[in-house]
Structure 1
Amino acid sequence: MNKIKFIEIPKIEDKRGNLSVIEKEIVPFDIKRVYYLYDVPAGAERGGHSHKETKEFLVALSGSFDVIVNDGKTTKCITLSKPYEGLLIENGVWRELNNFSSGSVCLVIASEVFEEEDYIRDFNEFLKSKK
């Protein structure tokens, strides 16, 4: 599981509220796409794919959710629930997102723009690509 990593996002604490900043020094790739998931219905799952090239950095801006990652050998479940902590997922890692709490928001920062050809959406095909 050396293709996933927690990265602490600096938190500036203030009596008026906290501020966190994601800059070039935090995310180890050039940012080409940013999107977020919200209003995810109870029981719904997101993800269910791997990327050939794209690297992603996920942050729970609000609430919490689980990220299930698989590198072709090992499966691990990681709960994201802090807006000052992100999960870097390198390319070649299968990911599924589930167990979204009410009001959760998942921020995704990606190294590439959307290209359908970059996705592996079938788990068995993903496993074959790891051999």
Structure 2
Amino acid sequence: MALQDCHVLDLPKIEDARGNLTFVEGDNHIPFDIKRVYYLYDVPGGSHRGAHAHRNLHQFMIAMSGSFDVTLTDGHEAKTFHLNRSYFGLYICPMMWRYLDNFSSGAVCMVMASARYDEADYIRDYDTFLKEVGV
């Protein structure tokens, strides 16, 4: 997979004077069945998250509150996405190194994943990642 396979997806937004509603359906709005959901919050100012890749995992990342940046690289090129709305999110395909930073105060990042947690799926060393993608 290549960087261009990762992109922002718009989600349904049902507007109502009492408050808006957005929903996500696996294998419909996102290109995988959801097996796990987790979220990042209370990230201290100036901190970053991520700095790893997954061999097989597909993910969909949403800024539920606040904003943050996600920088992805496939080993050849990099692209930064600014997430700041709860009605769109970033699809991240396997073998993408990701780095999250620039968290606003109160930011909440929700991630939907295609599989349960598996430490063996992680690549936590950038040089190892580059070797695995053939760079």
Q: Same fold (TM over 0.5)?
A: yes
Structure 1 residue runs without a partner (length 5+): none
Give the C-alpha shift of residue 3 in structure 1: 2.5
Q: TM-score, normalization: structure 1?
A: 0.98
Structure 1 runs (4+) deviating above 6 angstroms are none
1:37-116 equivalence runs, <5 A: 37-116=40-119
Question: For 2:71, what is the secondary structure of its paired residue?
Answer: strand
Identity across matched positions, percent: 51
Matches of 2:54 and 2:61, distance apart in 1: 14
Q: Give the paired residue count.
A: 131
Matched position secondary structure for 1:2: helix
Aligned twin of 2:19 = 17
Alignment deviations for residues 43-90 of structure 1 (CA, whole Å, 9 cap, x no partner): 111001000000100000000000010011001111000100010000
8 Å contact from structure 1 (residues 55, 90) kept in 2: yes
CA-based RMSD of the aligned residues comes to: 0.7
Amino acid at match of 2:21: L
Say if 1:72 and 1:127, in contact at 8 Å, map to a contact too.
yes
Q: Mind listing any 5+ residue stretches in structure 2 that lack a counterpart?
A: none
Q: CA deviation at 1:128?
A: 0.7
2:5 maps to 3
